[in-house]
Structure 1
């Protein structure tokens, strides 16, 4: 089995390892990963790997400092010693960028199962949950689900929190890393909300035309134009995690900063990953926890239905601007990884790795 691994201290250093596949124990299944998606969001998993435990999902043996960045994708059951899981079943969920994975299905029903592997039990349950895929879906829909589903779920959660707090009294919502797909999803949710304040996006100079073309932002500025950010009450949603940019905006807005939400680390190489950093009126947003809290607060199933409705509609509309780029095999993927790691991938593209 081949598996893509990165140096946990220097994400630009990576390798493809060949690993012996273990024999199955009673109750376990082996799945062959069919394909996975990879975006800048996966670099957030790496940057917060120690703080939030992402390195623990698919641990690497040895002490040479390498780890596995988790990915979202689809896989087929190719071997089973679990009574209620048949060979040929298809699963959607959280996988390693590797040819296969051994899982221990627990809490199974007609729609879902959870991986009961011992080392995963202290980790957020959302990432241990797998969807049992019904036959008849299109490959295009599966690609969009793997690429945008996790990101747009986070987008919806952010919109839900912001509107539930009456937009934090802001007269504008400022999105950092406006070209990231999670920002795009949030910008769409806010654009669809006639009560939301205007949305201002910050992005690199080379992405300004693309971000404007989406039609979701009321205005777009480059990072070197922070002084042009209007001095009005502002809630910031930071997908970039660039510590210098965040500090510059705090100094610029001063008393007009009503709330600061840190979400992603697309600028992982310039980030502050200490979860207690940021000062007053600041939080690190963790979508899995928010989903659990909000689901408990609302009538049963309401939050999940609303989120799914948004994700499906937003993903469908992404066909207007998103093009999918497919590569075959872990070795081929490793050649594209450098672009994502460096933040130089075209924001209008989405990468799918077929195994």
Structure 2
């Protein structure tokens, strides 16, 4: 069995490793990955591996080496759990590897969780596995590429509306070319009557891409931050770029009502200790908003809204997403590196098939 190890400290440093597959014990099932997505989201998982706990999902047993989590689809190839016979296909959270053995447990809603002891204290949303039918491969690809990212986009939108946008007249999205960023822009643009402006921040290289999305009222490059309108604002930061964040804060000053940290796509420019003017940035943790809505609305309601929302945007994905399929886990290293060093094309969505 092969897996791609990532250095905890130098997250662009990877190595392909052959290992003996784990045994499949009582109550466990072996899942062979069929395909998974690689996006800037996976870079965030690696960059925040200890701060949020992503390195703890799939322990490697090797000091300083981790398995970056990915979203994908796998097939049960060995089962010691009656509710998951061989041939069942599950969508969920996997290691960047060819196989995973989970301790299966029904979740009471038609899905399953990995009840392994080391995952018990980790966010429940990442421990769930959903049965999926075998259809067109493109269905698996779009689900893996867009469901996790656009789910976060929609949860951000819901959270902003839930908090009445903190009273802001404009919402500024950093790294608007990222899938999560563009998803948020599109959800914010959906209401027919809205009393807020949407401003996308991006690089000069990606400016036309963001403008062509048609969701932002204004698109500015990072060196144009001083042109931000001086009105009450919320900043939603997908990049984690400390210099950009400092510029936004200093430009807007008291006009900035809330600053939210979401992703770290610019992980090499991330500096959590960097002081900024005005409001203190706060980390947005999507599972917390899901938990809040479950308590308020009951189980399953928010999940249905998320599914409807990401499929709504996925139906239009042909206008802003080109799917690139790569065969074999050995191809994953180059794709991951391009995402990590920022050279990846924002129009492209990458799938690894096994």
TM range (shorter): over 0.9
Secondary structure, counterpart of 1:210 in structure 2? helix
* Cross-structure match for 1:181: 179
* Cross-structure match for 1:267: 266
* Cross-structure match for 2:44: 44
TM-score in terms of structure 2 length: 0.96
* Range 262-271 or range 326-335, more displaced: 326-335
Change (3 A) 1:278 1:11: farther
Alpha-carbon distance, 1:335 to partner: 2.1
| Corresponding position: 1:170 with 2:168 | yes
Paired with 2:278 and 2:47, the residues of 1 have a C-alpha distance of 20
Counterparts of 1:14-163 in structure 2 under 5 Å?
14-63=14-63, 65-109=64-108, 111-135=110-134, 137-163=135-161
Alpha-carbon distance, 1:110 to partner: 6.7
Alpha-carbon distance, 1:281 to partner: 5.2
Change (3 A) 1:250 1:279: closer
Change (3 A) 1:309 1:61: same
What do residues 251-295 of structure 1 show as CA deviations (whole Å, max 9, x unaligned)?
110010011111000101111346999974532000011101122
Change (3 A) 1:273 1:54: farther
Provide the aligned C-alpha RMSD in A: 1.7
Number of equivalences: 353
TM-score in terms of structure 1 length: 0.96
Segments of 4+ moved more than 4 angstroms? 273-279
Alpha-carbon distance, 1:83 to partner: 1.8
Paired with 1:3 and 1:276, the residues of 2 have a C-alpha distance of 38
**Preserved CA contact (<8 Å) 1:111 1:133:** no
Paired with 1:12 and 1:150, the residues of 2 have a C-alpha distance of 22
Change (3 A) 1:242 1:209: same
Change (3 A) 1:108 1:303: closer
**Preserved CA contact (<8 Å) 1:258 1:281:** no
| Corresponding position: 1:12 with 2:1 | no
What do residues 291-312 of structure 1 show as CA deviations (whole Å, max 9, x unaligned)?
0112211255332222211111
Paired with 2:213 and 2:252, the residues of 1 have a C-alpha distance of 27
* Cross-structure match for 2:292: 293
**Preserved CA contact (<8 Å) 1:41 1:264:** yes
Listed as ranges, the gaps of 5+ residues in structure 1 are none
* Cross-structure match for 1:206: 205
**Preserved CA contact (<8 Å) 2:322 2:349:** yes
Secondary structure, counterpart of 2:294 in structure 1? helix
